[in-house]
Amino acid sequence: DTGVSQNPRHKITKRGQNVTFRCDPISEHNRLYWYRQTLGQGPEFLTYFQNEAQLEKSRLLSDRFSAERPKGSFSTLEIQRTEQGDSAMYLCASSSPMNEQFFGPGTRLTVL
Amino acid sequence: GQNIDQPTEMTATEGAIVQINCTYQTSGFNGLFWYQQHAGEAPTFLSYNVLDGLEEKGRFSSFLSRSKGYSYLLLKELQMKDSASYLCAVRDPGGGNYQLIWGAGTKLIIKP
């Protein structure tokens, strides 16, 4: 399968715990995006990589969120000290320059 | 500021035609995208407009007027499987990163 994949698909955690999500983009895409989406809303931009460089991070993103793309291929998104407000669907997308973004299936996070 | 407006919800009948409107106010413009999102799934790409006019792709067409900051998605011969949310997104070249600004989506309900 050559689409975008994300793991895990679902994550339930207790408040205060750390969680890490993984995204494997389409192999020839050099751009990778992380979004957060809650019910009835469009995707909210979190951060963006071009190859291994993190070029933009949302100003709304707290310091508890960090993302990496160490070799310009897969990416990880870590949330430290999770809060109930972090419960959402976390979407990863990839694209080649100036083309449409292809989304992965998402990771649904529930913080208890 | 950046703003994308779409109706929250629309209802249509199987076999009919429906038009979903999107208006935008962004600091820059480098194309408008429409995505379809079924409940609990990731968005999938439908269409892209960068020049004024109508782009047709099977049962779906998308129109753009840059001077009016306006687009619509036209769905013909509606099928029950078209029940989904439809997201409008504008690509803003601001800062050289060409990010997508997303609307909240229009939930389309198809009735038999």
pLDDT bin (cut points 50, 70, 90) of residue B96 is low
pLDDT bin (cut points 50, 70, 90) of residue B94 is confident
Mutate to test the interface with B, among A24, A101, A110 (most CBs of B within 10 A): A101
**Distance (Å, rounded) from C-alpha B23 to C-alpha B6?**
7
Give residue A8's pLDDT: 97
Smallest CA–CA distance, residue A82 to chain B, in Å, is 22
Give residue A60's pLDDT: 74
Across residues B41-47, what is the average pLDDT? 94
Q: Which residue in chain A has the smallest CA separation from B48?
A: A100
Which has more pLDDT, A60 or B48? B48
Q: Which residue in chain A has the smallest CA separation from B106?
A: A40
Smallest CA–CA distance, residue A97 to chain B, in Å, is 9
Do the beta carbons of residue B33 and residue B45 sit within 8 Å? Answer: yes
Query: Token digits for A81?
Result: 């000290």
Whether B4 contacts chain A with CB within 8 A:
yes
Instruction: Report whether pLDDT(A1) > 80.
Output: no
- Element at A77 (helix H, strand E): strand A75-79
Smallest CA–CA distance, residue B77 to chain A, in Å, is 26
Alpha helices per DSSP H over chain B: none
Q: How far is CA B35 from CA A10, A102, B47, B49, in A?
A: 23, 10, 7, 12
Residue with structure tokens 């099977």?
B58
Give residue B25's pLDDT: 94
Instruction: Report whether pLDDT(B108) > 80.
Output: yes
Query: Token digits for A68?
Result: 């990496």
A17-52 tens-digit pLDDT: 999 999 999 998 999 999 999 998 999 999 999 999
Give residue A90's pLDDT: 97
Across residues B13-20, what is the average pLDDT? 98
Chain-chain contact of B4 with A42 (C-beta, under 8 angstroms): yes
